Amino acid sequence: KAGVTQTPRYLIKTRGQQVTLSCSPISGHRSVSWYQQTPGQGLQFLFEYFSETQRNKGNFPGRFSGRQFSNSRSEMNVSTLELGDSALYLCASSFGGTTNTEAFFGQGTRLTVV
């Protein structure tokens, strides 16, 4: 079956702009989590959505937001982009149970802010 699909793969934006990233989970998965990966801070959890509701949230400013649609596809939005937002953004999907359900990752969206 198809894996986790993130679009676009690469993105270049200017400071002050906003950006929307998309994540289509594996069919049947109801949980989508987002992570930011940078050389300096490593992999940091942004938020998790389950059945269209935010279930967990990391320690990021309000400029970072997300949502999930009824088909489990998720989008994350970053407003008023800063240079420090340049990163690889990864999403992961899972069935969503609160016990040990494996998370499958997409290939990421590489965002460059100039």
Partner 1 sequence: AQTVTQSQPEMSVQEAETVTLSCTYDTSESNYYLFWYKQPPSRQMILVIRQEAYKQQNATENRFSVNFQKAAKSFSLKISDSQLGDTAMYFCAFKENNAGNMLTFGGGTRLMVKP
Residues that bind partner 1 (CB under 8 A): 31, 33, 35, 42-45, 48, 50, 55-56, 58, 88, 90, 92, 94, 96, 98-108
Would you say 14 or 98 has its CB closer to partner 1? 98
Residue 71 corresponds to which amino acid? Answer: N
Would you say 5 or 20 has its CB closer to partner 1? 5
CB of 72 to partner 1, least distance (A): 13
Please give the backbone phi and psi of residue 85, each rounded to the nearest 5 degrees, phi first: -85, -5
Would you say 55 or 79 has its CB closer to partner 1? 55
SS3 category, 98: coil
- DSSP H helix total and E strand total for the chain: 0, 11
Structure tokens at 74: 């998720």
